[in-house]
Amino acid sequence: MSRLRAAAVRGLRRQRRGSGSAAPNGRSSRAPARPHALHLFGDPVEIDALRGRLLAWYDKSRRDLPWRTLAAAELDADRRAYAVWVSEIMLQQTQVATVIDYYNRWMQKWPTLQALAAASLEEVNELWAGLGYYSRGKRLQEAARKVVSELAGRMPRTAEDLQRLLPGVGRYTAGAIASISFGQATGVVDGNVIRVLCRLRCIGADTSSLAVIDCLWDMANTLVDRSRPGDFNQALMELGATVCTPKSPLCRECPVKEHCHAWRRVEKELASASQKLFGKTTLVPDVEDCGPGGCPLCLPAAEPWDSSLGVTNFPRKAAKKQPRVEWTATCVLERRGRLGAPEYLIVQRPSSGLLAGLWEFPSLPLAPGLQEEQQKEVLADHLRAWTRQPVQTQSLCFIGEVVHIFSHIHQTYVVYSLCLDGDVALDAASSPSRWVTEEEFRASAVSTAMKKVLKARETQRGVQSGRAKGSKRKRESKLGAAGSTPTGMQLSLRAFLRAQPPP
């Protein structure tokens, strides 16, 4: 029995012996229950075997990703750390397939910390537009400027210093940069790693709790390979992303299934079911269990093991908080440009809060329960402040509703359009604003939600154009029926051959 396992068992024995004691104030003095050895990695032989199998699989099966290629080829430690840093920030809450194009364009535009530090926030927002969680780009640039101005362009070399000195760099990002770029033997814990570790050690407790997260970090630091920490951490994340997936995991292809307690439980249940099917009486040993109650990492008693779920019993997640519902009135305000093409008014959002610093069509929050006429009234008042001229509610044309889901907000944009005649002088005292063509709009730092709004307006314009053409055809048809032939309209063969009246 390993020392770690023995220590865990001794701790459980002490807890059981002291279960009846009470503190003078009437509360139990019993210390919080310690994790059972089932949930721990304590055997050095097993740890070495797991490391070897996982790294061998990674060397053979890892995906070819631009940040990995760049980090492997870059000899300068600071540039290597910057390349890893950018990828880790972009990959937060965003899929790899989405990130690749953004990453390549970013590194082409700003290949060094110094180049990023010299850029404007407007440029950063423009390139980040569509990637979501827009504050990430802003914080990344702020931290890059700090490295250049206060740290002489030299990246901190340890996870502890990275987290302490750089704004926006948390424990995971610091661990990833330090292990991949500088070879520090420190673990990482992200969503993929949480899923892998929970299945390897049957951790069914709420993974959002601080105690469980601390346990997972301890486990990651125990497992990380000392000679190849960066590769090991990437291998663990790669395993979670491609094999040990949230749904339909590829367990039979997993390189470390021999170390997986969840897999072992599934296999033993299948063996037991097979014996019963063929009428055999040989007993299959029960899966190792923690015993009754007290373990802080087991599945909760109210949500026991479900055989139909298999390894996806782990991890269990707390109920997701429902996003709050918000409504916003938005107006696509347009005028005819110098070349005849429409131009749109966009305004800049505040420098803090949701979608900070991005550009949008003039918008304002709507109070719940407003009817359409009331929505038009508050929107017209808002537009008067921008255009400094009267805006009649009847001139606002309803386009429709555009729904966009942020991480914590279910946002519905109630969209109207308004076409202005002639030049319009904008209020310089208001937030920054400008007129842009459609091409300029798409190149600006605008959110995906605003792109949806413009698409709704273009769809409306197409419908209106189709109706106008249909009305024209109807008018021409009526004229033809009256015996006249409009200019440009071709006569039918019957009309052409019809006898003409004598002169």
Which residues are annotated as catalytic? 88
Which residues lie below 8 Å from residue 165, measured CB to CB, with a gap of 6+? 146, 151, 156
Instruction: Provide the CA 364 distance to its chain's centre, in angstroms.
Output: 26
Angstrom distance (rounded) from CA 201 to CA 41: 8
Residue 413 Rama label (left phi>0; alpha psi -120 to 50; beta): beta
Nearest to 143 by CA among 181, 173, 122, 113: 113
> What are the Cα distances from residue 124, in Å, to 109, 141, 146, 317, 348?
10, 8, 16, 35, 15
Name residue 418's beta-bridge partners.
333
Buried b (16+ CB within 10 A) or exposed e, 256-289: bbebbbbbbbbbeeeebeeeeeeeeeeebeebee
Angstrom distance (rounded) from CA 410 to CA 394: 29
Buried b (16+ CB within 10 A) or exposed e, 336-363: eeeeeebbbbbbbbeeeeebebbbbbbb
Angstrom distance (rounded) from CA 318 to CA 309: 17
Cis, peptide link before residue 432, omega less than 30° from 0: no
